[in-house]
Amino acid sequence: MYRLTVETLLGLQLEVDHLRMTPCIPAHWKSYSIHYRFRETFYHITIKCNGEKPNHEIHVTVDGTVVDSVGVDESGRPQGMIPLIDDHQAHHVEVDLN
């Protein structure tokens, strides 16, 4: 049940050395946070929904740096790739859905 919620609703899926973000959240949610551990490194991820239909564009930053690997999945939903590095540091990820 946990994996179903994390992968389907929250849109977080581990793929070797990165996280694929494809959020599919209810329209009335303004934001949510996930604290994700990758080996000995923590990623504090905040997903913000800006607008009434939050599934048209996605913007991802990791520690203030824009992540260029964004696109759409096979169903047309926006997705972003978060590179994962096991450097024993805390990282802050912002995902904005427009």
For 51, how many CA atoms within 13 A lie in the half-sphere containing its CB? 9
CATH of the domain at 58: 2.60.420.10
* Structural domains in the chain (count): 1
Q: What pTM was computed for the model?
A: 0.83
DSSP assignments along 32-95, one per residue: EEEEEEETTEEEEEEEEE-SSS--S-EEEEETTEEE--EEE-TTS-EEEEEE---SS-EEEEEE
60 neighbors 80 (Cβ within 8 angstroms):
yes
For 7-43, the pLDDT digits (tens) are: 777 888 898 899 988 887 777 889 999 999 999 999 9
Residue 83: both structure tokens together: 């590179």
Task: Give the domain extent around 39.
Answer: 2-97
For 39-69, the pLDDT digits (tens) are: 999 999 999 987 655 456 888 999 999 988 7
